[in-house]
Amino acid sequence: MADAERAETGAEPGEAASMEIALIAAVAENRVIGDEGEMPWHYPADLAHFKQTTMGHPVIMGRVTYESIAGQLGGPLPGRTNVVLTRSGLEAPDEVVQVGSVDAAVEAASAAAAETGAETTFVAGGATVYEAFLDRADRLVLTAVPGEPEGDTRFPEWDPAAWVEVDREDEGELSFVTYERQ
């Protein structure tokens, strides 16, 4: 490994770099993130932010989230290793990594990150998956969505005192806010 690569990843030859875990979500004021497997809003700027932020990184998600994304895109998220947490399995292309536990998801994402040089794995939902990863997360990348839409899926409650806002970008009525664990 070249000195520049070692400085960039912090890893010695043959040693995996530590992987950051970031939860990424669009969250309404009432913590709603979904309704019947769909997002209850459509903001092209949020979709572009999600794509730009996660491209080239492993993305962990639950089966329902994967099926919603695959239904809209006609397949898995391109340009990213899709790691899907599922108890029952699903029909998916071979490049989709299916796992049955949080630890297996972290292991699969770490392996993918080591192959690509990515330093961050993103967790893209749904609610149960966010809840499972919240205590492991180093960063929250949240799109603040205005209003209080109806929905059956909510982002887990999190303690603002445990996090510090490190970046905010306002675009129209949306705010892209990044928090890091204190």
In whole angstroms, how far apart are CA 74 and each of 68, 69, 92?
A: 10, 8, 11
**pLDDT value of residue 39:** 93
Q: What is the mean pLDDT of the chain?
A: 91
Residue 159 burial by Cβ neighbours in a 10 Å radius (0-12, 13-18, 19+): exposed
For residue 3, give the amino acid letter: D
DSSP assignment, residue 49? H
Q: What is the pLDDT of residues 112-148, one digit of tens each?
A: 999 999 999 999 999 999 999 999 999 999 999 999 9
Predicted TM-score (pTM) of the model is 0.89
Domains and CATH numbers, the chain: 18-181 (3.40.430.10)
Q: What is the pLDDT of residues 5-34, one digit of tens each?
A: 333 434 443 344 579 999 999 999 999 999
For residue 105, give the amino acid letter: A
Question: What DSSP line would sit under 53-122, residue for residue?
Answer: HHTTS-EEEEHHHHHHHHHHHSSSPTTS-EEEE-SS-----TTSEEESSHHHHHHHHHHHHHHHT--EEE
- Mean pLDDT score, 143-162: 97
